[in-house]
């Protein structure tokens, strides 16, 4: 009986490795239990459920080329199989989460697999990877350039040049056609002393083109920074210029006190103040559309919406994510859920895309209301990072309660990588929450997956979206 169990376990693991060598992910998945745990301690990854493991395989094997795996030894007990292997491959993409070597590296990796077995299936797979050490270079003052450190230290110069260009409408003016420096300066109200260096700085930063003294937008700035185009993302930059740039000057004070440093630091709640003034609210909501657009389009493209009929976008702002999802999937109907002051702004934005018959607005407060609006899918974009840990967990629990069995919660942010080493934007965003909120902070995909499982979601997965942003999907 024991020998038979061992033979069966070895056969399952052998089938597992055959599937890996052929990149046959659909053949591997039935070998796992529904509640399988897959982990890579060296890369700080712990995944729960078949779907999360499947997504990890797709990303990982899509980033590996010329794969060769040699098994050195393998042994088994009635409830465990251990395999000692060497894997050789080329790292060709960024889908291998927290890989410690750069894209293009040739990898020679010793790997120890430990499979915990249950009922002739893999209940847990722990993959212990022994990555080659990255040697520290020998540096000396004579051979080491300070350029990278200096560029970082003076990075605010470049940032403010771009923010002022957006504020002045440089790119919107040039969207009408190229202009000479003096003409452009006059239209923007710039002093004769300033404009040449300013425009040429934007050329050097790659934000403008110049030919024979005539300035023009680049293809990128013409598409993304012309206020008259629906693709405009400058709203977030306008807010950064008007609000965040001066507040970040108080970062040191925030680090010492743990207290927010924005316009509400001595008065009331940030969102109460923000939502009480129409112009500031509109600027903030437009900014949220700009910062969310890349991720919204990726969610519309990547998530399996064909399995669902309804969705609700919690903290919808202008409705940027809801609009992108509805445009891509005509069978869906959805709603935006936010404070009542947002309603006319949301409705105007939705109407501009002709989606008013499929997208509605539900006013509410996700902390004060007993329940979130029910739907097949609940979306929370750039919401959880505003709140402290207890509040984050409360919102996730409310989402779980509002979903049907099989429903999905999508949480997307600039998720910090699990090792907290790579996604500098996500870490800087968390410092921004220190400046802006009483208790908010950003978090890793593993953090959010843990909170989802604690709330009762049966499986979770993390997927990259666009730039520094990723989503965590929880299935009820």
Q: Which of 2-16, 20-34, 243-257, 374-388 has the lowest mean pLDDT?
A: 20-34
Q: What is the 3-state secondary structure (H, E, C) of the chain?
A: CHHHHHHHHHHHHHHHHHHHHCCCHHHHHHHEEEEEEEEEHHHCEEEECHHHHHHHHHHHHCCEEEEEEEEEEEEEECCEEEEEEEEEEEECCCCCCCCCCCCCCEEEEEEEEEEEEECCEEEEEEEEEECCCCCCCCCCCCCCCCHHHHHHHCHHHHHHHHHHHHHHCHHHHHCCCCEEHHHHHHHHCCCCCCHHHHHHHHHHCCCEEEECCEEEECHHHHHHCCCCCCCCCHHHHHHHHHHHHHHHHHHHHHHHHCCCCCCCCCCCCHHHHHHCCHHHHHHHHHHHHHHHHHHHHHHHHHCCHHHCCEEEEECCCCCHHHHHHHHHCCCCEEEEEECHHHHHHHHHHHHHCCCCCCEEEEECCCCCCCCCCCCCEEEEECCHHHCCHHHHHHHHHHHHHHCCCCCEEEEEECCECCCCCCCHHHHHHHHHHHHHCCCCCCCEHHHHHHHHHHHCCCEEEEEEEECCEEEEEEEC
Rounded to an integer, the average pLDDT of 235-255 is: 91
Rounded to an integer, the average pLDDT of 442-459 is: 95
Which domains, ranges and CATH numbers included, belong to the chain? Answer: 2-130 (3.10.450.50), 148-232 (1.10.10.10), 288-475 (3.40.50.150)
Output the pLDDT for position 114. Answer: 93
Read off the pLDDT of residues 57-82 as tens digits, 9 standing for 90 and up.
888 888 888 888 888 888 888 889 89
Could you give the count of Cα atoms lying within 13 Å of 246 in the half-sphere of its Cβ?
6
Active site residues: 385
What is the distance between the alpha carbons of residues 382 and 290, in angstroms, rounded to a whole number? 12
Output the pLDDT for position 275. Answer: 67
Percentage of the chain with pLDDT > 90? 58
Q: Which residues contact 1 (CB under 8 A, 6 or more apart)?
A: none
Q: Using 50, 70 and 90 to split pLDDT, how confident is the model at 276?
A: low
Rounded to an integer, the average pLDDT of 127-143 is: 73
Rounded to an integer, the average pLDDT of 83-102 is: 85
Rounded to an integer, the average pLDDT of 134-156 is: 78
Q: Which residues pair with 472 in a beta bridge?
A: 411, 462
Residues in the chain: 476
Read off the pLDDT of residues 303-357 as tens digits, 9 standing for 90 and up.
999 999 999 999 998 999 999 999 999 999 999 999 898 899 899 999 999 999 9
Rounded to an integer, the average pLDDT of 356-369 is: 95
What is the distance between the alpha carbons of residues 300 and 287, in angstroms, rounded to a whole number? 20
Q: Which of 180-189, 282-291, 448-457 has the lowest mean pLDDT?
A: 282-291
């Amino acid at each position: 009986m024991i020998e038979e169990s061992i033979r069966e376990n070895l056969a399952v693991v052998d089938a597992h490795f055959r599937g890996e060598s052929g990149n046959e992910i659909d053949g591997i998945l039935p070998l796992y239990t529904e509640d399988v745990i897959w982990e890579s301690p060296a890369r700080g990854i712990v995944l729960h459920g078949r779907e999360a493991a499947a997504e990890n395989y797709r990303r990982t094997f899509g980033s590996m080329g010329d794969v060769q795996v040699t098994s050195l030894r393998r042994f088994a007990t009635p409830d465990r199989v251990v395999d000692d292997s060497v894997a050789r491959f080329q790292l060709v993409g960024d889908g291998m989460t927290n890989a410690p070597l750069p894209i293009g590296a040739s990898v020679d990796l010793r790997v120890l697999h430990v499979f915990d077995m249950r009922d002739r299936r893999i209940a847990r797979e722990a993959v212990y990877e022994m990555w080659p050490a990255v040697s520290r270079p020998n540096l000396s003052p004579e051979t080491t350039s300070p350029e990278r450190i200096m560029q970082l230290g003076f990075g605010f110069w470049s940032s403010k040049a771009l923010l002022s260009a957006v504020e002045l409408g440089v790119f919107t003016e040039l969207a009408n056609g190229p202009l000479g420096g003096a003409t452009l300066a006059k239209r923007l109200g710039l002093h004769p002393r300033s404009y040449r260096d300013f425009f040429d700085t934007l050329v050097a930063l790659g934000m403008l083109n110049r030919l024979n003294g005539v300035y023009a937008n680049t293809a990128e700035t013409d598409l993304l920074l012309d206020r008259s185009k629906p693709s405009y993302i400058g709203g977030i930059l306008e807010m950064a210029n008007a609000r965040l740039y001066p507040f970040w000057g108080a970062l040191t004070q925030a680090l010492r006190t743990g207290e927010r440093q924005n316009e509400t630091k001595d008065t009331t709640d940030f969102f109460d103040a923000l939502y009480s003034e129409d112009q500031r609210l509109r600027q903030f909501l437009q900014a949220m559309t700009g910062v969310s657009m890349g991720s919204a389009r990726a969610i519309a493209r990547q998530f399996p919406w064909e399995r669902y009929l309804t969705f609700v976008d919690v903290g919808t702002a202008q409705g940027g994510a809801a609009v992108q999802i509805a445009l891509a999937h005509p069978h869906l109907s959805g709603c935006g859920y936010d404070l009542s002051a947002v309603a006319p702004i949301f409705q105007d934005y939705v109407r501009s895309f002709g989606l008013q018959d499929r997208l509605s607005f539900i006013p509410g407060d996700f902390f004060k209301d007993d329940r979130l609006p029910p739907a097949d899918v609940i979306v929370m974009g750039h919401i959880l990072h505003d709140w402290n840990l207890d509040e984050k967990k409360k919102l996730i629990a409310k989402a779980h309660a509002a979903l049907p069995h099989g429903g999905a919660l999508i949480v997307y942010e600039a998720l910090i990588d699990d090792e907290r080493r790579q996604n500098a934007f996500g870490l800087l965003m968390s410092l921004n929450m220190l400046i802006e909120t009483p208790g908010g902070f950003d978090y890793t995909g593993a953090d959010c997956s843990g909170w989802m499982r604690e709330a009762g979601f049966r499986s979770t997965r993390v997927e990259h979206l666009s730039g520094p942003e990723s989503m965590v999907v929880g299935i009820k």
